[in-house]
Chains A and B, each alone.
Chain A
Amino acid sequence: GAVVSQHPSRVICKSGTSVKIECRSLDFQATTMFWYRQFPKKSLMLMATSNEGSKATYEQGVEKDKFLINHASLTLSTLTVTSAHPEDSSFYICSAREPIQETQYFGPGTRLLVL
């Protein structure tokens, strides 16, 4: 199947700092990528849809100035958590839409801990 990578896999930061998470589709080009957040023992919550070359579409209740998304190329989308606070601690997962079957393939996730 298609491969999606995320970096870093884990990050610990101090409150108030910004953290950037990268999502890459390794063997296909993805015009659309998605960013999810997952709390322990909970399902995935869609945060935003990222389209290459245009602004991301955010889900209701997700602050676009807090969670900055950039999709500058067909293989890379980034999520920046700005001025992170402890309540932003979570598991962030991206997915990329494979263009032929149009199915979503997920990255391995990034565990963020804000102290």
Chain B
Amino acid sequence: QKEVEQDPGPLSVPEGAIVSLNCTYSNSAFQYFMWYRQYSRKGPELLMYTYSSGNKEDGRFTAQVDKSSKYISLFIRDSQPSDSATYLCACEETSGSRLTFGEGTQLTVNP
């Protein structure tokens, strides 16, 4: 079993839709959770960084962490074609330690 599971998709939504991306993890020691966005043939870009359980909002993006169920989510409101990319969740045990990535979900937002 992988430490971090993520549905690879692909996921296709119309412009303006609310997008929900999810990951589950098995390692109880994970405390820090990140979402990265990766455009084709580019390096990942850090979108959200959260510690422990709770919500964090940044513009159209909201990250949620539920440590009790080992479930992390990223919501994108009013999705735009420019949001089309692969979204990777990542977890780490201690701040600055090695990241464990999910497989990534490929998202397409259609105009």
Contact = CB atoms under 8 A, between A and B. Distances in A.
Interface of A: 1, 4, 6, 32, 34, 41-44, 46, 49, 91, 93, 95, 97, 101-109, 111
A95 B44 CA distance: 9
Interface SS majority for chain A: strand
Contact of A106 (B44, B96, B103, B104): B44
Counting chain B residues whose Cβ lies within 8 A of the other chain, the interface size class is 20 to 34
B105 to A, nearest CB: 11
A97 B43 contact: no
Contact of B103 (A43, A93, A95): A43
A32 B43 contact: no
A97 B42 contact: no
B98 A34 contact: yes
A1 B98 contact: no
A108 B96 contact: no
Interface string B19-56: 00000000000000010100001111110010000000
Contact of B102 (A43, A46, A102): A43
Given A32-B96, A43-B88, A108 B42 contact: yes
10 contacts: A1-B46, A4-B43, A42-B103, A46-B98, A91-B41, A93-B43, A97-B96, A102-B96, A103-B49, A109-B43
B95 interface: yes
Nearest to B88: A43
